[in-house]
A and B are shown apart, each in its own frame.
Chain A
């Protein structure tokens, strides 16, 4: 299993399809473009916990569940109760 950080991004669509040339972040029509590049400002969650996962999707990326959860902990909720982790297939 490859670590999550070792996924090899190719991003072919982004380089092959029309990009929005306008950097303006105001509301506006976007013409003739597929993508508008983002420079996201990340806002990490406090106390995230895994609710469900897809084993099919993870297998496709050669990942396992331990790599998208937090140290195998599946506790969360308002009182730290144990949540049932769902595999959506």
Chain B
């Protein structure tokens, strides 16, 4: 869940980061990356898609290493001297993660669930947001909702266009 090792059978691949903003499909979002970790069959012909998502900060990680998938746009620095990085991480990650799940439900499709969020200990060093680890996410299209194929939502909405990807 923390991206510290690969599961047997996982085949990581980078994919353009895209999705909905303000009620419309917006195509590529910044220079971030979606990272496909693999699919797990869950019965009834459905598959669960495991992946990670990172939002670019000018040095995004489309072709970067898993260790650099940590630059996640919703991670915000501590608000003040008394707020720890863990407080900030939980506040911003949970807002982003739960917001994503809710917006997916609001669009009428099956949600992409944030499967787990993982933190780490920092000691006194928390100035760099690049050390924050994002979530492992899980998208699960359900057969009962055929309109929601992975090809119609999120990063899969622009599968074969030309997109500029930075590392």
Contact = CB atoms under 8 A, between A and B. Distances in A.
Contacts of B121: 46-47, 49, 76-78, 80
Nearest to B15: A35
Interface string A31-75: 111111111111111111111111011101100000010000000
Binding site secondary structure of chain A? loop
Interface residues of B, number: 68
A27 B165 contact: yes
A58 B154 CA distance: 21
A60 B121 CA distance: 30
Binding site secondary structure of chain B? mixed
Nearest to B41: A10
A8 B116 contact: no
Measured as residues with beta carbon below 8 angstroms from the partner, the interface class of chain A is 35 or more
Interface in B60-108: 62-63, 65-68, 84-86, 89-90, 93-94, 97-98, 101
